[in-house]
Structure 1
């Protein structure tokens, strides 16, 4: 294995392949920066370019883009309060408040350094999973996947701050909206009102953009000011990097969590950052500033969402099971390159598999460094006056929303959800639980239906199910305990 790894590294470091990797990294940064596009769009753009390439060069291009798209999407999340993709939603919670305080460069520096480390952790997990991938994959059945969905849903109270009841209600509304469209267990359509557009449910990109992006744009126009209320950039990338190094164990924990959750097909892509953010808020001390501009609220999700790519490649490469839209298109790219995903990736095509590991690690390092170098200049976006910036951004967001299904219903729901999100914001209702409930509604229902139809109620007593249940209880208990400690310390501070 060591000889194969060295051989694959030499192959990846070929100047031509490095050039293609940087081309993929550039596309990834641009795609991540434009709200609503994300990995599937970037992969679709690059796919025609790989015709006639050898597998190593083609993978250098595709993995270069895949690795860095969740680094590039940090720019709009921090600077504009707009989710660049589904993997950067939780970054908004503290990244955007930091930008408002004039610390955009600091937030970006911390985010990009965390992304580099998280991406490398994901690559290491992918490498370690090569020999143990098959038994690892077989250990997860529908009961375990359902419990992991519940783990994600357990975060809604945490994400609600001081209003856990509102958080739970928002999560329930999100789950209700997530049931629109075809039922996973039976041939039925729910809440479609005979409108063909709703048969596949509401698109996630439209939901996230409407809920988080449009309300911020409306408020900026009303206030007639720039995003940064101080009129100064403040902070620096170097300060952000120092913050990340100071919280190195948080990055490591988030990276491992991201890789493990990303490994689960259909679950990790849109919720891994929320689980990491919620876990950090529940288990760290002095979390009263989470959601108001705590740098740890940027570090946790950014360490997880890049590591997720390494985990998502495990079922994609070893079993041909795509965990997301991006990896589904990647499977098509493998076929175009003459490589068949599956057991042969551990045998005849092992050098290609290991080269993907190296490309994933190197692309995260190079791409993260490029983003850190660009952060100071791009941070100046937060100082542009709203009346000059917002019209352009709304056009970009509407184009991103329309890309979901290319149906005029995308634009209608973008506006409707935007107004709904604006009302929630001003009525002090948390929006994050609504999104988490929406994302997890379908997988929760699907895995529960499969578990009940296969095992009845016996699955409740599976050792792995009980273990995940214990983790959920521990996290919830830790959240209550840490909240009490924080409240006690705040009361002591007020008395003194």
Structure 2
């Protein structure tokens, strides 16, 4: 294992791979700064780029970007009071009040330090889990893999805000979209309505961009305002680092929370910041300053937000279950590269797992450093009206979608999926649930077909299947109980389907 890990490090440090890692980090910085985008949009933009790429290069590019977004999305949260992504909502509670007091530099440096530790902690946990999980993963057959995919589908209710019914229906919609075109297990074409474009189904790039990027850009254009008023950083960069070091136990506890929540399929960035924020308030005696500019209210969500990426990669890479919306797109990226996450990856492509770990660790280090160095110019970018940025973003999304199959059908499908995504957003339907249903549709059908053909009805009596069925039942009960508990209250209201990045 050590030799494989060192070999992966040597590969990632080669100039071509290293450039891809830095490119992903820089793109992640940009995506995180723009409010309302997040990991799902960033990942879908990159999907057309990775066609035909070396898997190590693609891993470095994708993970470099997704690892840094939870760090760079701190800028709009602290400087503007607008969440850069769903995982930075709780940071606003104390980060924005600190900025209004002239302590934005302190809040940002504390957040970046906590993010760095959280990201490295997540990478360390992922490293430790691989040797333990490998024999378990390799023992899985098609029945267990079907149940794992079903476990992922059972979690879509968590992404549905206060309406599990909407979550299940949105997940079912994703399954229906995934069923268009050729069946994965039989030589049959389904629901293509005589349209040649639909014979191969709708590409993941189109679905991701349509459901997420299109609606967010339209909403920001409708507002028609500058992203922020003229911001000031103030002083206190060193004080923020000292704050992080003096509250290292808080950062450690919340990093553990981040890994655990990231590991649970379907949760991801939608709740991790609020769980850690609520935890730190519940376990602190002097809580009267929370919501008014308490630095601990910045450290807690930022450390857990970055640690969740390492936790989210565990089910995604080892079991083929996306831990969040962005991990669902990441899973689609692996399939584009011809890599099947799960037992085959653990047995045949173990080096890629360590490439992911090294990319995650290095991206967090570079991302935190770049955020600190580029804070002043990045902060100035927030005063640019979004109407100036939107044409450039629309051009990128159009080109990205056209690369899917290079036909006009891509653009028509993007428009239709974009309208669907906008309608879902307006009426509070959970878009991540639909995306997870789409990504898992092939796995569900393929593994069920193989299980029935190989084992008959006896596949449901396998020990692994029974254990996973119990886990599904328990997880659904726990998610129902979790929804009945009191949610954190705030004057800021967000969509229930903000990207589970």
State the TM bucket, normalised to the shorter chain: 0.5 to 0.7
- The question of whether the paired residues in 2 share the 8 Å contact of 1:172 and 1:434 is answered with yes
Deviations 1:200-255 (A, max 9, x none): 22112221211111112112222211345x76588999599789973645544654
Question: Match of 1:469, SS?
Answer: helix
Structure 2: distance between partners of 1:161 and 1:295: 25
Q: Per the alignment, do residues 449 and 247 of structure 1 end up closer, same or farther by CA in structure 2, a change over 3 Å counting?
A: farther
- The question of whether the paired residues in 2 share the 8 Å contact of 1:143 and 1:448 is answered with yes
Does residue 119 in structure 1 map to residue 126 in structure 2?
A: no
Structure 1: distance between partners of 2:212 and 2:348: 43
Match of 2:362 in 1: 363
Match of 1:373 in 2: 372
Q: Per the alignment, do residues 280 and 424 of structure 1 end up closer, same or farther by CA in structure 2, a change over 3 Å counting?
A: same
- The question of whether the paired residues in 1 share the 8 Å contact of 2:332 and 2:439 is answered with no
Using the TM superposition, give the Cα deviation of residue 385 of structure 1 relative to its aligned residue in structure 2, in angstroms: 0.9
Match of 2:440 in 1: 440
Q: Per the alignment, do residues 390 and 67 of structure 1 end up closer, same or farther by CA in structure 2, a change over 3 Å counting?
A: closer
Q: 2:307 aligns with which of 281, 290, 303?
A: 303
Q: Per the alignment, do residues 92 and 199 of structure 1 end up closer, same or farther by CA in structure 2, a change over 3 Å counting?
A: farther
Give ranges in structure 2 of 5+ residues lacking alignment. 32-41, 78-82, 280-296, 321-329, 340-344, 490-501
Q: 1:93 aligns with which of 78, 86, 91?
A: 86
Question: Match of 1:457, SS?
Answer: helix
Paired residues for 1:289-368 under 5 Å = 302-306=306-310, 325-326=333-334, 329=337, 359-360=358-359, 363-368=362-367
Question: Match of 2:413, SS?
Answer: helix
Using the TM superposition, give the Cα deviation of residue 183 of structure 1 relative to its aligned residue in structure 2, in angstroms: 1.0
Aligned length: 424
Match of 1:69 in 2: 65
Using the TM superposition, give the Cα deviation of residue 298 of structure 1 relative to its aligned residue in structure 2, in angstroms: 7.4
Paired residues for 1:34-73 under 5 Å = 35=42, 36-38=44-46, 41-42=49-50, 44=52, 47=54, 64-65=60-61, 67-72=63-68
Deviations 1:470-490 (A, max 9, x none): 222222222222333316x98
Question: Match of 2:156, SS?
Answer: coil
Does residue 246 in structure 1 map to residue 245 in structure 2?
A: no
Q: Per the alignment, do residues 182 and 388 of structure 1 end up closer, same or farther by CA in structure 2, a change over 3 Å counting?
A: same
Give ranges in structure 1 of 5+ residues lacking alignment. 48-57, 82-89, 262-271, 288-292, 317-321, 332-340, 347-351, 491-496
Using the TM superposition, give the Cα deviation of residue 167 of structure 1 relative to its aligned residue in structure 2, in angstroms: 1.9
- The question of whether the paired residues in 2 share the 8 Å contact of 1:120 and 1:361 is answered with no
Q: Per the alignment, do residues 395 and 162 of structure 1 end up closer, same or farther by CA in structure 2, a change over 3 Å counting?
A: same
Deviations 1:131-164 (A, max 9, x none): x84x444311111111111211122222111122
Match of 2:291 in 1: none
Q: Per the alignment, do residues 454 and 437 of structure 1 end up closer, same or farther by CA in structure 2, a change over 3 Å counting?
A: same
CA RMSD of aligned residues (A): 4.9
Q: Per the alignment, do residues 225 and 43 of structure 1 end up closer, same or farther by CA in structure 2, a change over 3 Å counting?
A: same
Using the TM superposition, give the Cα deviation of residue 168 of structure 1 relative to its aligned residue in structure 2, in angstroms: 1.7
Q: 1:276 aligns with which of 264, 268, 274?
A: 268
Match of 1:169 in 2: 169
- The question of whether the paired residues in 2 share the 8 Å contact of 1:116 and 1:368 is answered with no
Paired residues for 1:140-219 under 5 Å = 140-219=140-219
Using the TM superposition, give the Cα deviation of residue 374 of structure 1 relative to its aligned residue in structure 2, in angstroms: 5.5
Question: Match of 1:37, SS?
Answer: helix
Q: Per the alignment, do residues 155 and 108 of structure 1 end up closer, same or farther by CA in structure 2, a change over 3 Å counting?
A: farther
Deviations 1:18-71 (A, max 9, x none): 6555423222224555743336725846x5xxxxxxxxxx96x67644542322
- The question of whether the paired residues in 2 share the 8 Å contact of 1:185 and 1:449 is answered with yes
Question: Match of 1:155, SS?
Answer: helix
Q: Per the alignment, do residues 91 and 187 of structure 1 end up closer, same or farther by CA in structure 2, a change over 3 Å counting?
A: farther
Question: Match of 1:226, SS?
Answer: coil
Q: Per the alignment, do residues 139 and 37 of structure 1 end up closer, same or farther by CA in structure 2, a change over 3 Å counting?
A: same
Match of 2:325 in 1: none
- The question of whether the paired residues in 1 share the 8 Å contact of 2:156 and 2:436 is answered with yes
Using the TM superposition, give the Cα deviation of residue 394 of structure 1 relative to its aligned residue in structure 2, in angstroms: 1.0
TM score, norm. by length of structure 1: 0.67
Deviations 1:318-361 (A, max 9, x none): xxxx9764587598xxxxxxxxx998989xxxxx8998588446
Q: Per the alignment, do residues 419 and 184 of structure 1 end up closer, same or farther by CA in structure 2, a change over 3 Å counting?
A: same
Q: Per the alignment, do residues 302 and 151 of structure 1 end up closer, same or farther by CA in structure 2, a change over 3 Å counting?
A: farther
Q: Per the alignment, do residues 191 and 329 of structure 1 end up closer, same or farther by CA in structure 2, a change over 3 Å counting?
A: closer
Structure 2: distance between partners of 1:344 and 1:179: 29
